[in-house]
Structure 1
């Protein structure tokens, strides 16, 4: 239950505690106590370092996955390359074929990954909206300037 008053919040909280004390396990807090709890919660922590660490790990995973796919492609196409060499293809032509495949894989994977990431982020924001602290009202935001 919220009480709106012009009196100091601490005094109102003391009076409210005295009023509801006979009812047992009722907890009364003032706005200052609530603000201290909120500012010490997980949502108030600066997570820039953790974000940079996760982005670095994601970049390493992209490079590793791309290299792994290309290595698997080499192993899978060994017979094809032997046949092309027997038909007269030069090593430069085979190399051009392989190096043209890498950017296609990288760009295609990056595009699909980016779209999937944005879709998942949008979904998580929609799911978690309201789970954490509700946004302040417009009058509070405008009044603080």
Structure 2
């Protein structure tokens, strides 16, 4: 699953429809796709915003829709590009807690790209890249 920095939600679709979209691409029955999408939006605290368009949602709410969409097909790996980059610190903390919960409870691998050194302290393993090359790898044992 992918979580983009700019959310990449389809502006003409509601939050619910945006989350259902990857399921429909995989030919999941519409009723099942709707149920899964509703559960995911409830999980991220947006159960009361399912019929809102992206323009009617805050940046943090849009990012939570994007995370729900990424989780919809139950991927083993989540790739998150600066998932807190456009958010205030409180919302960013919520998003990080959510990703850590998904990692811990559902055994998902989270690959997170960030320039935020605070987020680095929350990772189990940090791979530093410079000019497209791996510079070093560090293990943060307190988070294991």
TM-score > 0.5 by shorter chain: no
TM class, shorter-chain normalised? under 0.3
- If asked which structure has higher relative contact order (CA below 8 Å, sep 6+), I would say 2
Report which of the two has the higher share of helix: 1
Report which of the two has the higher share of strand: 2
Larger Rg: 1
Relative to the length of structure 1, the TM-score reads: 0.22
Relative to the length of structure 2, the TM-score reads: 0.23
